[in-house]
Amino acid sequence: SQKIEQNSEALNIQEGKTATLTCNYTNYSPAYLQWYRQDPGRGPVFLLLIRENEKEKRKERLKVTFDTTLKQSLFHITASQPADSATYLCALGDTGNQFYFGTGTSLTVIP
Amino acid sequence: GAVVSQHPSWVICKSGTSVKIECRSLDFQATTMFWYRQFPKQSLMLMATSNEGSKATYEQGVEKDKFLINHASLTLSTLTVTSAHPEDSSFYICSAVGLWPTEAFFGQGTRLTVV
């Protein structure tokens, strides 16, 4: 079965720095990959989608890369702010709209 | 963006009773809806996938007779936890998607506590 792993530990960074979160997967060939943000007690909120034939996607301070050879996606938040503190989830999807989520990474941005 | 409404937000029930959770896509037709379960500080665990008008597809280890899913229309799916037990206490979240490829829109989640 597919396996999706994110940063194994919580990530703490200083405000203003760039946060980089990783998503690695095995036994799967996703058609696309997505990143979501989840705050405690709330449902996830969509951030970015990147297709298998795309290498990089940007949205404001967010950047996502997708390397299907390495089976890895990197999620960057530049000029991080305390408000960026949350859990970030990657999700892999296939053409059948089946979604599988990673383990999530808790990010804390320290003022 | 699209809105998915999940109801109730929280519910407390007695052991042995059944609880129904609704998930509605308010401004789009959801071809597929998903139900997830999330334990504290853990990621989302996919329970089942449902397409309108057909039987839900359950993930391995999820009891279909215990977690009844009905997807009667393109805007409504329900999850019924039957004969609930304390170990069923969890955060249940639904999501809905339209035409591929698209992001999933999530409901606000339902906190179920079985006492």
pLDDT digits (tens, 9 = 90+) for A11-66: 999 999 999 999 999 888 888 899 999 998 888 998 999 998 999 999 999 999 99
More confidently predicted of A98 and A107? A107
Question: Which amino acid is it at B5?
Answer: S
Chain A residue whose CA is closest to B3: A45
pLDDT of the residue at A4: 84
> What are the C-alpha distances in Å from B108 to residues A35, A62, B21?
17, 24, 12
Say yes or no for a CB contact (<8 Å) between B6 and A43.
yes
More confidently predicted of A11 and B2? A11
Helices assigned H by DSSP within A1-111: none
Smallest Cβ–Cβ distance between A103 and the set B43, B106, B111 belongs to B43
| Of the candidate ranges A8-12, B65-69, B96-100, the one whose mean pLDDT is the lowest | B96-100
Interface mutation target, options A97, A101, A108, chain B, most CBs of B under 10 Å: A97
Model confidence at B72, pLDDT cuts 50, 70, 90, reads confident
Helices assigned H by DSSP within B21-107: none
CB neighbour list of residue B94: distance below 8 Å, 6 or more residues apart: B4, B6, B21, B23, B33, B34, B35, B36, B77, B79, B106, B107
- φ/ψ region of A94 (left if φ > 0, alpha if ψ in -120 to 50, else beta) reads beta
Dist CA A1 CA B13 (whole Å)? 35
CA distance A7 to chain B (A): 13
Q: Of B68, B37, B35, B72, nearest to B53 (Cα)? A: B72
pLDDT of the residue at B73: 87
Contacts of A31 in chain B (CB under 8 A): 101
Chain A residue whose CA is closest to B35: A99
Q: Are A33 and B103 in contact (CB under 8 A)?
A: no
Q: Report whether pLDDT(A93) > 70.
A: yes
pLDDT of the residue at A1: 67
- Rounded to the nearest 5 percent, the helix, strand and coil shares of chain B are 5, 50, 45
Dist CA B92 CA B39 (whole Å)? 9
